[in-house]
Structures are given as structure tokens and as C-alpha cells.
Amino acid sequence: MALPLAIETHQLLKKFGTNRAVDGVDLSIPQGMVYGVLGPNGAGKTTTLRMLATLLRPDGGEAHVLGHDVAREPARVRERISLTGQFASVDEDLTGLENLRLLAGLLGFRRREGRQRAEELLTAFSLTEAQNQQVKYYSGGMRRRLDIAASILVTPDLLFLDEPTTGLDPRSRNQVWDIVRALVAGGTTVLLTTQYLEEADRLAERIAVIDRGRVIAEGTSAELKASVGTSVLHLSVLSPDQREQAAGVLKDRLGVPAFREADPTALTVQLDDTARAPLALHALTEAGIPLRSFSLGQPSLDEVFMALTGRPAESDEPEKEVVV
Amino acid sequence: MTEQDTMATPDAARDTSLEAALQSALARRAAPRRPGAISNATMFGWRALLKIKHVPEQLFDVVITPVMFTVMFTYLFGGALAGSTVDYLQFLLPGILAQTVIFTTIYTGVTLNTDISKGIYDRFKSMPIWAPSPLVGAMLGDFLRYTGSSVIVVLIGLLMGFRPEAGLSGVIWSMMLLNLFAFGIGWIFTTLGLLMRTPGTVMTISWIVLMPLTFASNVFVDPATMPGWLQSVVNANPVSHLVTAIRALMAGTANLGLLVKSLLMPAAITVIFAPLAMVLYHRPR
Ligand SMILES: Nc1ncnc2c1ncn2[C@@H]1O[C@H](COP(=O)(O)OP(=O)(O)OP(=O)(O)O)[C@@H](O)[C@H]1O
Ligand SMILES: [Mg+2]
């Protein structure tokens, strides 16, 4: 294939003072897919995206976007990308329609075409009713959709979405996911950042996990989970007094301890092999312990992080960072 | 030919017409031709107008301050300085006009500073547009503010008894001169707006610069009555040159020399600060 990579970075670096926000990131992202960048707060997701979108100059390393060097040919890059920032990149004081018409005008649509295109997108994103309201009165989900609409007035070859669903309810989140899938079906490459493993799993063909400015794992969702090596079996016994017995059976059969949850009927077991889950269930049935429910969950981001870094993802305080 | 085969998924309580709208809205299409610099800047001008439409409060200062100044200074100083308020008004109004418009330039910096910290600037900067267009377009909003406040001052003046000998044309020429002057010195505040962290700081620094500049001038009194050292300060003050030019325009006695002299400083400021502002705007943060 002669297509250049959508994104190729080599030892990308960005420092803020002594803080290496992005510390040698290598990415290699083919065109035509959703690529997920997964990481906790402060991992360097936004900083990486801003460098790729030509908003920040890298302090070291190289980045090529669709074959163009971001430092040397930023204008060429801008022609082909679109960015939906983490915090609303639309004008709060203007209405939804005005926002889209303004951006359409900047992109070269004539008055009438711009209005048509804006209305078409507003309809598609179920924003018609609110189109004449100022954006500051929009809900989080509406704002996000408008923000994405603003990014695709002209279909970009590469779309950056920075945490597009953080803070959205499940319904709004699904709408955003639908939009992303439709865009990719149309040939756009999407780079999205997220803090949710589930989101990366559902949407992204490949995932890079970043932490403290470094890529600590890369691959498909399946590869990632395999490398983490656990899936989680959640069980709930019918009666609380059978929980201890159930825990014993599980320990015998699977060789790993069951974790007792706060709910007096609930148990959690970490499995390194999903195929062993049926064994566990079978053993409990044989022992005559009825279950109210069971589910096999994916490891959470926290668990992935535990496995990859040996510490939880939620650590807001970098333990040994220099205080500025 | 948009009749697409939208197969309703079995679980779909989902609206298939919306689904179709989504598909067709997301379909790839040819991008329009890239517009030129003027077109880009005009769009930002439109944005400035929309902002004024949606947030008219921002015009509050532009309306109230000139009314206050004109009325206050005329009645406060008029009797003492010129014997009668109407005589004094004839002298004061061109000065107040200049002062008002100069003060209004502060909003250029404050507005930009507030605006640029918002996420939408990330979008503007990542779009393939003429880079300075957001700054240039914002100036269209500024011209509106300058013109608005000068119209108000002139109207108040006329009500209170101000009579420009040169009539309407004197007023119009004055406003054009004021707009040019304000455009020039506006670059200082654009630069400040890009440099400072908060709108409050921009405001404070702007006042510190402008207060002495407007008061140590010939806006309120004829410098002939001042001590020698102050006279030389006042006579070197570019605001004095502006006020002198406006007085002459209103009186119908202006000449090219006066106009050129009054625009020297704003021209110099533009030459220095406009490129500086562009560098700051593009400074990666
Ligand atoms: N403009 C800036 N000046 C100084 N430090 C910054 C700046 N932007 C980001 N940082 C620092 O760089 C690091 C990475 O920040 P970044 O915003 O890229 O993280 P993130 O992964 O996007 O986090 P989040 O999930 O919270 O959005 C953090 O330590 C942050 O404090
Ligand atoms: Mg971020």
C-alpha cells in the first residue's frame, strides 16, 4: 500500500519546565482506523494530540501526520486534519447554527452552502431544536455533538477527538460512538483519547496505553487484555451464608483466592484464562450453591494499569515528581 | 439519488431516518475552495458582530463612560476654566471624544485576552485559515465600538450646546481620524492581551498606561497656563496632537500637516506592535 501512515512519531518529546509531559512517544498509526490512546489524568494525551494538531511545538523527536512533518509543514497538516479538543472548541456565546456557519465560512463555503451544510449536520446530530440557542445553554452531550459537527464540516482525512465521551451519559456516549463509526466507515482516520478501557475496546482497532508521557503498551484490545492476563468473574450467591462455602469451592477448583466484595453475596475472582469461567460455574452447581447472577468482566483500566505499571491509574499525585 | 438501503437493525427502536441523515451528512464530499485572507477576516468580523448581538452588556462601558465624562467634566470645570459651560464644552468636546475612544481601545485587549483562553482558539489555530484573521476580524468589532462611543459623545455634546463650525463633515472626519488613531494604538493592547495571563491584568496595565497619557495632555486645559516643564511634556504627548487635529477638524481649520502629525505615533506603534502581536499569537503555548 502506498498510503502514508496517518500518524508516525519517533521519540516525540514535550517538556513543561522540568515536567516531561510527553517523554519519547513512538506511534505508528495506519490510515482508515480508529486508534485509541488510553491513559489516566495527566498521562500526556492532550499534549500529544496538540503537538500532532500543530498547536504545540515538540521539544524533541519527530512527528509526521499524513506524510507531513508537523514542525516543518504545519499548514499542510492543517488542511487535512480536524480537532475536537477536550474542552468545548466551539463558541459558547454563539448559537449552534452560527457556530457552524462561521466555521463553514472560514473553510470556504459560500453563504447558502454553508447554511445548508450546517443544517444538514444539525439534523443528523439531532440538534435542530437547539440550533438557535446559545451554546452555553447546551447540555454536555449536545455540546460534544456540536463540537464534532464543527470538526467535520469538511470531512477531514484525520480527526482528533480528545476524550469525546468523558462526562457524557450512556445515551449521549452511544450517539458519539455511532458518529465515530460512521466517519470511519466513510474513510476518515480517527485518533481518540480516552480514560475508559471499555471505550477503547468498543471503538478502537488498536490502542496505545500511555502513562507519564510514555507508551507502556500497544496493540489490539485483545492483545492488551491478554498481556494483562486477567478477566474478572463476578458472582453473586443467592444466600449470604453460602458465600464462604462458594469461596472455598472456587479456591479449590481454580487455585486462586476469591475476593469478598462489600455486598455480602458477592465474590470476585481474577482469571488468567477466560475459558476457566465455565469450570468455576460448573463446580458451584455441583456443590449445590445456587447463584443469583454472574458476569464475566473485562479488566478495568485500573486493573490494566495495575498489571502494566504495578500501581493504580488514579494516582493524581506523581509520587516523586519535582515540585515546581 | 439519496435513496439509501438503510436496513433497520432488529433491535432498532432507532430512528432510521436519522440514521440515514447521519450517513448522508457524513458522506465524503469535495471540500470547497480555500477562501482568501479578506474572506477569512470578514468572517471573524461577523463573529465580532454576533458577539455584540448576543452579549450586548459588553457595550455598557462604551455607552456609559462617555456620557459620564462629558457631563461631569463640562459642569465640573466649565464655570471655573472658561467662564461658561457652553464655551468650555466647545473646547472640551473634541478632547473628551479622543479620551473616550482611547479608553475604548482597552477593550480590544481585554476581549482578546478573554476570548483567546477559550477552546475555540484551538480550533481556529488548527484550521487552514489565514493566520492573522482572528485578530484582524476582531478589529471590525472594535471599529464598531469606537464609532458607537464617539457618536454618543457627539450627540450628548450637541444636546448640551456643542456646535462644530465645520458641521457634519467635521464630525465625520474626526471620527475617521479617531478610528485610525485607535486602530494604531489598539495594537499595544492586542499585544498586552496576548501577553498577560488574565483580563484583569490587561485592564490594570492598560489604565496605568492610558491615565497619564490622556490627562497629561491638552484634553481639559490649554497648556499655555501650565508650568514650562509640563508644557513640554504635554506638547510632546501624541494625544495632544490628536486632540489638536480634532479641534481643527471640528472648527474647519485642519490641514494635512496636523493630520499627519497626529497619526505618526499610531503608525509607529502599528509597525512595531503588529508583527510582535502576530509572533505572540503564534507562540506555541
Ligand atoms: N500548558 C501547560 N503548562 C504546563 N504544564 C502542562 C501544560 N499542559 C499540560 N501540562 C502538564 O503536562 C502533563 C500532561 O498533561 P495532559 O493535559 O497532556 O494530560 P492528559 O493525559 O490529557 O490528562 P487528562 O486526562 O486530565 O486530560 C500534566 O502533568 C500537566 O500538568
Ligand atoms: Mg487531556
Could you say which of A93, A126, A155 has the minimum Cβ distance to residue B28? A155
**B239-266, pLDDT tens digit by residue?**
999 999 999 999 989 889 999 999 999 9
Average predicted confidence (pLDDT) for chain A: 85
Q: Please tell me the predicted confidence (pLDDT) of residue B50.
A: 92
Q: Please tell me the predicted confidence (pLDDT) of residue A258.
A: 81
Q: Listing from the earlier edge strand, what are the strands of the sheet with A158-162? A: A81-84, A158-162, A189-194, A34-38, A206-211, A214-219
**A96-148, pLDDT tens digit by residue?**
999 999 999 999 999 999 999 999 999 988 899 999 999 999 998 899 899 99
Q: Which grid cell sits at B55?
A: 452579549
Beta carbons of A228 and A299 less than 8 angstroms apart: yes
* Mean pLDDT calculated for residue range B113-121: 83
Separation in Å, CA B76 to CA A58, B70, B81, B240, B252: 59, 10, 9, 21, 28
Q: For residues A109 and A87, what is the distance between their CA atoms, to the nearest angstrom?
A: 26
Q: Do B119 and A90 touch (CB under 8 A)?
A: yes
CATH (domain of A211)? 3.40.50.300
**Residues A222 and A237 both lie in one domain:** no
Q: Does the residue B150 lie in any domain? A: yes
Q: Does the residue B258 lie in any domain? A: yes
Q: Which grid cell sits at B78?
A: 466649565
Range of the domain at B190: 35-282
* Mean pLDDT calculated for residue range B116-127: 85
DSSP A104-138: HHHHT--HHHHHHHHHHHHHHTT-GGGTTSBGGGS
B125 pLDDT tier (thresholds 50, 70, 90)? confident
**Residues A113 and A257 both lie in one domain:** no
Length of chain B measured in residues: 285
**Residues A22 and A165 both lie in one domain:** yes
CATH (domain of A255)? 3.30.70.100
Q: Which of A37, A45, A305 to mutate to test the pocket of ligand 1 (most atoms within 8 A of CB)?
A: A45
Residue nearest to ligand 1 atom 17, measured at CA: A46
Residue A58 has pLDDT above 80, yes or no: yes
**Chain A contact set for B22 (CB, 8 A):** 124-125, 178-179, 182
Q: Scanning the structure block, which residue is given the C-alpha cell 459588553?
A: B58
**Residues A54 and A138 both lie in one domain:** yes
For chain B, percent of residues with pLDDT exceeding 90? 28
Q: Does the residue B52 lie in any domain? A: yes
- A44 or A225, which is more confident? A44
Residue A18 C-alpha, separation from nearest chain B C-alpha, in angstroms: 15
User: β-pairing, A7-16 with A81-84?
Assistant: unpaired
**Residues A95 and A188 both lie in one domain:** yes
A95 pLDDT tier (thresholds 50, 70, 90)? very high
**Residues A222 and A289 both lie in one domain:** no
**Chain A contact set for B55 (CB, 8 A):** 93
**A216-263, pLDDT tens digit by residue?**
888 888 787 776 666 778 888 988 888 988 888 888 888 878 888 788
Q: Do A98 and B33 touch (CB under 8 A)?
A: no
Q: Please tell me the predicted confidence (pLDDT) of residue B105.
A: 87
Q: Please tell me the predicted confidence (pLDDT) of residue B62.
A: 74
Residues enclosing ligand 1, CB less than 6 A?
A 16, 19, 21, 39, 41-47, 86, 195; B 285
Contact partners, residue B60, CB within 8 Å, separation at least 6: none
The CA A257 to ligand 2 mean position distance, Å, reads 37
Average predicted confidence (pLDDT) for chain B: 84
Domain stop point among A226, A241, A271:
A226
Q: Is the overall model pTM greater than 0.80, yes or no?
A: no
Q: Does the residue A280 lie in any domain? A: yes
- Determine phi and psi for B252, rounding to 5 degrees: 80, 20
Q: Which residues pair with A214 in a beta bridge?
A: A211
**Ligand 1 atom closest to residue A50's alpha carbon, by position in its atom list:** 18
Q: Please tell me the predicted confidence (pLDDT) of residue A2.
A: 66
Q: Does the residue B14 lie in any domain? A: no
**Residues A15 and A47 both lie in one domain:** yes
Q: Does the residue B69 lie in any domain? A: yes
User: β-pairing, A206-211 with A34-38?
Assistant: parallel
**A272-281, pLDDT tens digit by residue?**
777 888 888 8
- A302 or A173, which is more confident? A173
* Mean pLDDT calculated for residue range A164-175: 86
**Residues A238 and A209 both lie in one domain:** no
Q: Does the residue A305 lie in any domain? A: no
DSSP label at B58? G
**Residues A197 and A242 both lie in one domain:** no
Residue A317 has pLDDT above 60, yes or no: no
Q: Which residues pair with A231 in a beta bridge?
A: A271
Q: Does the residue B13 lie in any domain? A: no
**Residues A281 and A206 both lie in one domain:** no
Range of the domain at A143: 7-226
Q: Helix A243-254 vs helix A277-286: angle between axes, to the nearest 10 degrees?
A: 130
Give chain B's end-to-end CA distance (angstroms, integer). 48
Residue B12 has pLDDT above 70, yes or no: no
Q: Which residues pair with A266 in a beta bridge?
A: A236
Domain stop point among A201, A226, A251:
A226
Q: Which long-range contacts (CB under 8 A, 24 or more apart) does B85-88 make?
A: B85/B160, B85/B161, B86/B160, B86/B161
Which of A66-70, A220-224, B218-222 is the least confident region? A220-224
**Residues A238 and A186 both lie in one domain:** no
B7 pLDDT tier (thresholds 50, 70, 90)? very low
Q: Please tell me the predicted confidence (pLDDT) of residue A1.
A: 53
- Determine phi and psi for A317, rounding to 5 degrees: -90, 110
**Is this prediction's ipTM beyond 0.85?**
no
Region for A183 from its dihedrals, namely left if φ exceeds 0, alpha if ψ lies in -120 to 50, beta otherwise: alpha
Of A108-112, A200-204, A255-259, B25-29, give the range with the top mean pLDDT.
A108-112
Q: Please tell me the predicted confidence (pLDDT) of residue A48.
A: 94
**Chain B contact set for A90 (CB, 8 A):** 119-120, 123
The CA A44 to ligand 1 mean position distance, Å, reads 6
Q: Does the residue A309 lie in any domain? A: no
* Mean pLDDT calculated for residue range B104-133: 85
- Our count of domains for chain A comes to 2
Q: For residues A301 and A111, what is the distance between their CA atoms, to the nearest angstrom?
A: 46
- Our count of domains for chain B comes to 1
